[in-house]
Structure 1
Amino acid sequence: MDKRSLCLLLICINLCLVIWLVSVQQSPMLEAEIMADFGGGSSSITGSSTPSPPSQTQSANSGSRRSRSKPYQTKPSRTFSNNNNSDSSLVSSNTFDSAATPPAIRSQTPAPNGSSMQLMDLNNFVYLIDQPACDKDVRVLILVHSAVRNTEKRRIIRETWADRKYIDGTPLKVIFLVGGVGANAERWQQFLGRENHLNGDLIQGNFDDAYRNMTYKHVMALKWFNEKCSGAQLLVKVDDDVFMNTPQLVKYLTTPSLPEFAMLQDPQLMLCRVVRHSRVKRSYRSKWRVTYKEYPHRFYPEYCPGMAIVYAPDVVRRLFEAAQKSKYFWVDDVLITGILAEETGSKITPLKYYLEQKDVRSLLSGEADLEDPPFLFTNHAIKPDESMEIWQMALDRIQRPLLTPPASSLASASIASKSAAPSGWPSANLSEAPQQTIATGLS
């Protein structure tokens, strides 16, 4: 071999070596870059400090997005943000732009058995992140409506009323619902993937997570329950800025002497704080402005505010089937629990006790007791420190030993508890036997 040929051979070998090194090292380098953008390792997602997610400005300035007209829908719509008042980004009310979706989440596979790719007027609906179907021990599925960027709110919930150390000893299951991240926001998608990998509690639909797409999220909740958890006794739909008193719900489920025990077994149950005679907002200054074309009447029908609703399975099925045939209307609680509830003959059961902001202050100041009166939900916009304090009060109540009652009453209470509660459920009295099934993981 002459000298020239040998030089060419060495150049080719070096070139191949460089190409191989670049291809092998590129993936770890990109991963390290993304981890740095999120403020460290993936373990920080659920740690005591929330990571710094990708900036909202980056997503906001990602370029134009396709839009298409929908019945009962205006555009553009504002995306959610952590503080719920950011107007730095506008997203049209169209479906998730698959062309901008990273290959890892671009799915063209058929829907699983028993599931449909239809969600109202979306013909190509799929779950970008999904969870296994409920097992037979789940009696209440709690679906928390969250926004992609509400990482801090989800963390607070996981550390308080949905704490796994408590929830895993009860017949409750908690899952968070989010929409798509929008175009050119691949890093947010990877962030959600890691959050779900750590917690296993996210469900994501392939529609933009935008204010005017909340009806899709609500109907997705009905769909998921109807197809994957219909054996449960109840569906609870709750927003991520509401405190839910899960120990009180367990007490209602397992105490036959309480009137709420029978109420929660009603096959026609749609429980909420009912809204009556609500005037339709027409002002251009209103966040909830609705045009006459979207809704022609002066008042909305009686409906449930979307912040907290408890459904029986039969009601879920009826409302989901009606929603699949309905025209799209962006005010989700009015459409589903008002308009469609009227069409399907579903009646609202008024929720008796609701903790307003003033009641939260009274409770935390010691002027009121946790069970005087008992409550299932607080109002919107509860603060993280308030959630933490109320949850600690609930834990103290669970773990607080009772004064020893007479032997006869203790025996009769034990018999009633065993006859009422299904196998594997916590005891009816959360201050007694649950210390073995629930409180052991909390001490």
Structure 2
Amino acid sequence: MDHLFRRKRVGLLKPLLSLSLVFASFLMIHKLKLSEKDAVGVKHMRDEGWCGSECFSFKKGAVKTSVESSDSPVSLLDSQRVSNGTPASWDAQVLNCSEDASVRTQDWFRRLDPRFHQFVLHRHCRYFPMLINHPEKCADGEVHLLMVVKSVIEQHDRREAVRKTWGKEHTVDGKKIRTLFLLGSPTAGKDTKNLQKLIEYEDLIYGDILQWDFMDTFFNLTLKEVNFLKWFDIYCPDVQFIFKGDDDVFVNTHNLLELVGFKVEESKEADLFVGDTISKAIPIRNRQSKYYIPRELYDKPYPPYVGGGGFLMSSQLARRLFVVSEDLELYPIDDVFLGMCLQKLHLSPELHPGFRTFGITRRRVSSMNSEPCFYRNLIVVHKLSAQELLKMWSVVHNEELVCALRTSI
């Protein structure tokens, strides 16, 4: 919440001010009891296990949602979706996620790096109860582009920067752009109760958060992929395109919409999946790497996949990805998992030079990484802090900025 409270911090003043902010926010949340917001209705008993909450049951209607009227567009949508066999609403209301004990008897599991044990024992756990839902997000007429942003609870400043820049909801030439942030639950050992209250208050203000009850960890990023794909299949029948990215990227929405327009003109939107494609990659065996994968878990080259910092896909392909994803074992790297889904559809992602999910250059100290004319000509650039994003957005959209007609990197 750094953007809400800025002072010079010295000595013990910083922790005291942080405590004051949490306390003030907590009091504010309790005062804001609006009738259209349901209470979450579940007491969490957190531990360090995979489930987040230890295999609890959700009462019907416990999910926070801003749509309740039976005459709402979502209710009409639900009745139509029931007829074609798709669930009319989020149906993962009970979490029963005990480990698959049979895996422990396998020789390969005994050799497996212990840090992957919990993932393997629970990777059959796929869909989780929702703590915050917005089924109305796609029901407000036809949405041309849905901006879907992966985030975690503590990154308030990043979400705020996205809302003020490329994630701002608006209409361009009659084309609606809507935004959603995907969250899990606070990891064990954190002040989960107050963090949850803060995120509920943030959603009360902006109404743009989807939250599931699984711990927000690196290995669980794939859960965000599959849970979102299911959510999208249920609630977004009229959305045409999805941009999916991280909360620390710069997105040139004008260039993104132009790319969408070109694909539509060429009638190539049905299989559209475009980004910073990585081909002929192999699993990283360096144990110190964030992306380390032991041979026991995966021992062949990766299929082509795109960097998860940001990519564009059509709604038609998203629904097909949802179907094939249900028959694949979850993989701890979400980017690669989507590549596996595409491979099963016999498709490859399209490489586009406008998507720079590793930055403009791989040398972070390079002056090119802060050159605004590159940002004006690209679509996605990774990786920026909240402050850098706000500054670059302002500079790039400054009418006095003069750039060469052609640039080369």
Equivalent position of 2:51 in the other structure: 95
Match of 2:48 among 56, 65, 74: 65
User: Take 1:138 and 1:63, find their aligned partners in 2: how far apart are those partners?
Assistant: 37
User: Take 2:221 and 2:277, find their aligned partners in 1: how far apart are those partners?
Assistant: 19
- Structure 2, unmatched stretches of 5+, are 1-17, 30-44, 64-86, 96-122, 402-409
Q: In terms of Rg, which structure is larger?
A: 1
2:297 aligned partner, one-letter code: E
1:315 aligned partner, one-letter code: L
Equivalent position of 2:68 in the other structure: none
User: Take 2:127 and 2:276, find their aligned partners in 1: how far apart are those partners?
Assistant: 34
| Maintained 8 Å contact 2:361/2:368 | yes
Equivalent position of 2:303 in the other structure: 301
1:129 aligned partner, one-letter code: I
Match of 1:143 among 145, 148, 154: 148
Match of 1:196 among 195, 203, 213: 203
Structure 1 position 121 matched with structure 2 position 128: no
Structure 1 position 130 matched with structure 2 position 109: no
Post-superposition offset of 1:351: 1.4
Post-superposition offset of 1:386: 2.9
| Maintained 8 Å contact 2:145/2:177 | yes
User: Take 1:172 and 1:304, find their aligned partners in 2: how far apart are those partners?
Assistant: 23
| Maintained 8 Å contact 2:142/2:176 | yes
User: Take 1:65 and 1:150, find their aligned partners in 2: how far apart are those partners?
Assistant: 22
Matches within 5 A, 1:314-333: 314-333=316-335
1:65 aligned partner, one-letter code: E
Equivalent position of 1:276 in the other structure: 279
Structure 1 position 248 matched with structure 2 position 255: yes
Matches within 5 A, 1:17-416: 36-38=20-22, 40-41=24-25, 64-66=47-49, 94-98=50-54, 107-109=58-60, 113-117=88-92, 121-122=124-125, 125-133=128-136, 134=138, 135-164=140-169, 170-183=175-188, 185-253=192-260, 259-262=262-265, 266-297=269-300, 299-336=301-338, 338-355=339-356, 356-358=359-361, 361-362=367-368, 364-365=370-371, 368=373, 371=376, 374-379=377-382, 381-397=383-399
2:378 aligned partner, one-letter code: F
2:60 aligned partner, one-letter code: T
The structure whose residues are more often strand, as a share, is: 2
User: Take 2:179 and 2:215, find their aligned partners in 1: how far apart are those partners?
Assistant: 22
| Maintained 8 Å contact 2:126/2:227 | no
Moved more, 213-222 or 387-396: 387-396
Secondary structure of the residue that 1:293 maps to in structure 2? coil
- Structure 1, unmatched stretches of 5+, are 1-33, 46-61, 67-93, 401-443
Post-superposition offset of 1:223: 1.7
What's the C-alpha RMSD, in Å, of the aligned pairs? Answer: 3.6
Post-superposition offset of 1:282: 1.6
Query: Structure 2 length normalisation: TM-score?
Result: 0.66
| Maintained 8 Å contact 2:169/2:177 | no
What is the aligned length?
Answer: 309
User: Take 2:27 and 2:379, find their aligned partners in 1: how far apart are those partners?
Assistant: 31
